Amino acid sequence: MKNSNITYFTDVVLITCVVAHGRGDEAIKAAQEAGVTGAIVYHARGSGVRERLGLLGIAVEVEKDVITAIAATSQRDLVMYSLYTKLGLDRPGAGVVYAMPLNKMATYIPADMRERLQTKVL
Amino acid sequence: MNADRSLSRKSSSVDAEGVRSYRYADYIRNSGDLYISYNDLAPVIQYDADGHPLPYRPPALRLRLPEAARLLQPYASVRFVDQVSAVAPLAIYLALFQILILRQLVQDAWLVTAGMFAVIVGLMLFLEGLKIGLMPFGTAIGEQLPRKLALPLVLIITLMLGIGVTFAEPAIGALKMAGQIVSVERAPYLYALLNQWSDALVLVVGISVGLAAVIGTMRFLYGWSLKPLIFFSLIIAFVPTLYMAADPQLASVLGLAWDTGAVTTGPVTVPLVLALGVGISAAAGKGSGGLSGFGIVTLASLFPVAGVLFLALYVASVQSPAEIVEAARQSAALANMGVSAWYASSPGIEIMSGVRAILPLVIFLFLVLSFILRERLANQAEIFLGIGLTIAGICIFNLGLTYGLSMLGNSAGNLVPSAFMKIDDIVISPIYSYGIGLLLALVFAWFLGFGATIAEPALTALGMTAEELTNGIFKKKTLVMAVSTGVACGIALGLAKLIFDLSLVWLLAGSYAVAAILTLISSEAFVNVAWDSAGVTTGPVTVPLVLAMGLGFGNATEAIEGFGILCLASVGPIITVLISGLWSSYKSRLEAAQVNDQAQNLSILESAKGIS
């Protein structure tokens, strides 16, 4: 474990956005335009508000797209703001967005970026 | 709500004594955003005497009117835009062609526009109602019926479902409407089938669809190949066709009979019948095959042909042409005499036919569910809303059919011949020289078919299935292009048939013979996709438009009847898809052979190196 030579990133958050099925790509576009590198879409089934709305509940899709994206803490508010406004989450039944802190994150780092980061650290 | 009382600015914290405190700096900095503790929203849970928490039941949410509007607005607009994109391009194409090429203004433009709007709204409500009102029945019955009942009984219910869905199919209304344009003197049997016998016609078509569903389901169960079934249904459709072609009175029915196949396979039949068929084979443990689900559509578009032909033979044996003309004259006189009942004139007739189309199906599904399965569906209120939407949708759609699609199609059909021949109503006709005008008319028909098909959402879905089935050999785009080209050529051929008064029998016999030969040499997967693509493409917008256009065109060119375009549009894609399927499997085999060759060459090289 000692000499694993992994570069870890800190100050990362996980932003999750739940919207109606079919709007996942829209959410990814909004997140990417706010500076997020990539995102994953899960297909899921939601419940809760739909049952409590009575007949109006038909307007709330049961099938959901769940989008998760990793972002820097400094990006968090902008990404959440973009998702909230561009997907119209201020409408009833449209969806939810939340952020969670992540301990650390590791992935492949391109060579030139690694060099740049190392000079900065040193 | 709870939160309104305790709106707190940023990071309220609760200390040991339970006193809430706020940082003023946070208040200044974050004056744009509100932060509310979620604790303030959490419901208070009650405990029983032993200290166990009682289950919490959330109260119903009440939205204020503007909130409800904000909830419904995106929901409705997505579905509205879906239908607009299906209907508007076709309507605009037809209108522009009339104005730019034929230099005629669209008659009653406002009425037609209102009618098209009604088609859009009607389809939107109908499809949504189908999804929330009827589909839950379909899936529940499809999943449970095969487990609770013996197979013969299940198949009987499948048969009855086939009849019910046929009555509920929106495009069926277009057939009845077409009957009003047919001239009784020139095609008495056709007129009789579409007027006095119109209910019997739909019933026969329904029984045929039901039989197709039964045989298609048995095919899933026993893993039959589709090829012999296709040949068998072609034979039972062609024997009466050839017999009736010899009799000029009966020959006028052929176009109608072959067109019904395209009409029946629409947005109600396909999903409901498939849900049951797939459910039955899944219950038997045979639903995993990639090809399950295919075939029913094919059979459901071939069987009605035979059904309608046999009905025509029966009518011919009961009534003579003279009797039909007499009966038609009497009923016309009756209609002119007194004030007709409210349900016999527009818009009452559209509403009545809408209710009559949906209610029997709903009652049948409900009876099966509650008396045979002894089940109750959850969300009853939602299902009733869905059924209500379906009925409202089909009524509005029927209105739009009368004033929008049929009118537009009919007037386009009436006007297009003016490009190359003399039409009485149009002073400047013929607008172009015969050759150019004819070419224009055929090109018009070709692009109409192409544009109507390429936008069909069902086709995209079929394309994806086809790509999966053939392991990517058959690309989705290839299928969409092949089907669109096939439909386009079919419609152009149909128009040519009306212009030159070609014999429909020989066109059909020729094209189906080609399709049969291609079927013989194609693999099972391609055969399944190709034959199903024919039924999938003719949706509730295309069918009435093309029917009305054919009838108008037939009137203008003084052909006896304007049917037969749709059936050529169905056989077209079968041929094109089979050809492109053969071509792409040939290409992939070629590529595989090349890769093999290269691999062999490489290994030879390497072994040569090894030796040296």
- Do B123 and B16 share a structural domain? no
The count of other CB atoms within 10 Å of the CB of residue B160 is 16
pLDDT band at A76 (very low <50, low <70, confident <90, very high): very high
**CA A7 – CA A109 distance, rounded (Å):** 8
B72 touches chain A (CB under 8 A): yes
pLDDT score recorded for residue A116 = 86
**CA A42 – CA A32 distance, rounded (Å):** 17
Residue B121 has, within 13 A of its CA and on its CB side, a CA count of 12
pLDDT score of B105 more than 50: yes
- Asked whether B291 and B222 are in contact (CB, 8 A), the reply is no
Q: Which residues of A touch B73 (CB under 8 A)?
A: 91
**CA B250 – CA B18 distance, rounded (Å):** 92
Spatial CA neighbour of B22 closest among B32, B38, B8: B8
- Do B164 and B23 share a structural domain? no
Residue given tokens 């209907």 in the structure block: B87
- Asked whether B496 and B449 are in contact (CB, 8 A), the reply is no
Please list the residues that pair with B261 across neighbouring strands. none
- Asked whether B299 and B212 are in contact (CB, 8 A), the reply is yes
**CA B543 – CA B171 distance, rounded (Å):** 6
Of residues B6 and B587, more confidently modeled = B587
Average pLDDT over residues B408-420: 80
pLDDT score recorded for residue B605 = 67
**CA A58 – CA B75 distance, rounded (Å):** 9
Contact call for B61 and A55, based on CB within 8 A? no
Q: How does pLDDT run across B338-355, given as a tens digit for each residue? A: 555 555 566 677 788 788
Residues with Cβ within 8 Å of B51's Cβ and at least 6 positions away in sequence, in order, are none
**CA B308 – CA B198 distance, rounded (Å):** 11
- Do B140 and B236 share a structural domain? yes
pLDDT score of B289 more than 60: no
Contact call for B61 and A49, based on CB within 8 A? yes
Contact call for B381 and A52, based on CB within 8 A? no
Residue type, B83: Q
Q: How does pLDDT run across B429-471, given as a tens digit for each residue? A: 677 777 788 888 888 888 888 887 876 767 777 787 778 777 7
Residue type, B23: R
Q: Which of A53, A55, A88 sits opposite B385 (nearest CB)?
A: A55
pLDDT score of B288 more than 80: no
Inside any domain, residue B305: yes
Contact call for B60 and A54, based on CB within 8 A? yes
Burial of B401 per CB tally in 10 Å (0-12, 13-18, 19+): buried
B61 touches chain A (CB under 8 A): yes
pLDDT score recorded for residue B16 = 60
pLDDT score of B184 more than 50: yes
Q: Does domain A12-121 have CATH number 3.40.50.300?
A: no
Q: Which of B61, B74, B132 sits opposite A91 (nearest CB)?
A: B74
Smallest Cα distance from A91 to chain B, Å: 6
Q: Which of A52, A88, A94 sits opposite B61 (nearest CB)?
A: A52
- Asked whether B109 and B378 are in contact (CB, 8 A), the reply is no
Q: Which of A55, A60, A91 sits opposite B70 (nearest CB)?
A: A91
Residue given tokens 């419904």 in the structure block: B72
- Asked whether B197 and B311 are in contact (CB, 8 A), the reply is yes
End-to-end CA distance of chain A: 23
Domain span at residue B10?
Answer: 2-40
* Burial annotation B120-129 (CB, 10 A radius, 16+ → b, else e): bbbbbbbbbb
Contact call for B74 and A94, based on CB within 8 A? yes
Inside any domain, residue B57: no
pLDDT score recorded for residue A89 = 93
**CA B554 – CA B220 distance, rounded (Å):** 41
- CA B250 from centroid of its chain's CA atoms: 29
Contact call for A58 and B60, based on CB within 8 A? no
Domain boundaries in chain A? 12-121
Spatial CA neighbour of B237 closest among B165, B166, B309, B182: B309
Residues with Cβ within 8 Å of A55's Cβ and at least 6 positions away in sequence, in order, are B381, B382, B385
- Do B129 and B190 share a structural domain? yes
B71 touches chain A (CB under 8 A): yes
B500 touches chain A (CB under 8 A): no
Of residues B55 and A16, more confidently modeled = A16
For B35-94, what is the HEC assignment? CCCHHHCCCCCCECCCCCECCCCCCCCCCCHHHHHHHHHHHHHHHHHHHHHHHHHHHHHH
pLDDT score of B10 more than 60: no
- Asked whether A54 and A67 are in contact (CB, 8 A), the reply is no
Residues with Cβ within 8 Å of B33's Cβ and at least 6 positions away in sequence, in order, are B10
Q: Which residues of B touch A54 (CB under 8 A)?
A: 60-61, 381
pLDDT score recorded for residue B407 = 81
pLDDT score of B20 more than 70: no
Q: How does pLDDT run across B568-598, given as a tens digit for each residue? A: 888 899 999 999 988 888 888 888 888 877 7
Of residues B265 and A95, more confidently modeled = A95
Interface test with B, best of A91, A97, A98 (most B CBs within 10 A): A91
Inside any domain, residue B314: yes
Number of domains in chain B: 2
Inside any domain, residue B153: yes
- Asked whether B415 and B131 are in contact (CB, 8 A), the reply is no
Highest mean pLDDT among A14-18, B317-321, B477-481, B563-567: A14-18
pLDDT score recorded for residue B268 = 80
Contact call for A59 and B75, based on CB within 8 A? yes
- The dihedral built from the CA positions of residue B310, B312, B315 and B320, taken in this order, carries a sign that is negative
Spatial CA neighbour of B573 closest among B265, B289, B284, B286: B265
pLDDT score recorded for residue B6 = 41
Spatial CA neighbour of B407 closest among B126, B89, B98: B98
ipTM above 0.85, yes or no: no
Q: What token pair was written down for B491?
A: 């419609």
Q: Which residues of B touch A56 (CB under 8 A)?
A: 63, 68, 71-72
Q: Which of B59, B71, B132 sits opposite A91 (nearest CB)?
A: B71
Chain A residues at the B interface, defined by Cβ less than 8 Å, are 49, 52-60, 88, 91-94
Nearest CA in chain B to A62: B132
- Asked whether B533 and B577 are in contact (CB, 8 A), the reply is yes
Q: Which residues of B touch A58 (CB under 8 A)?
A: 75, 128, 132, 382, 385-386
B67 touches chain A (CB under 8 A): yes
- Do B220 and B318 share a structural domain? yes
Q: Which residues of A touch B71 (CB under 8 A)?
A: 53, 56, 59-60, 91-93
Phi-psi region of B352 (alpha: psi -120 to 50; beta: other; left: phi over 0): alpha
- Asked whether B389 and B528 are in contact (CB, 8 A), the reply is no
- Do B156 and B14 share a structural domain? no
Q: What token pair was written down for A81?
A: 């703001």
Inside any domain, residue B552: yes
- Do B179 and B106 share a structural domain? yes
pLDDT score of B134 more than 50: yes
Q: Which residues of B touch A53 (CB under 8 A)?
A: 60-61, 63, 71
What's the angle, vertex CA B395, arms to CA B389 and CA B399, rounded to 5?
140
pLDDT score of B132 more than 70: yes
Which contacts (CB < 8 Å, 24+ apart) does range B502-506 have? Answer: B503/B245, B504/B254, B504/B255, B504/B258, B504/B564, B505/B241, B505/B242, B505/B245, B505/B251, B505/B254
Please list the residues that pair with B388 across neighbouring strands. none
**CA B357 – CA B346 distance, rounded (Å):** 17
Smallest Cα distance from A11 to chain B, Å: 21
**CA B508 – CA B241 distance, rounded (Å):** 10
Residue type, B595: V
Separation in Å, CA B320 to CA B187, B189, B198, B248, B252: 12, 9, 17, 13, 15
Q: Which residues of B touch A94 (CB under 8 A)?
A: 74
- Asked whether B203 and B264 are in contact (CB, 8 A), the reply is no
**CA B420 – CA B413 distance, rounded (Å):** 13
Nearest CA in chain B to A92: B71
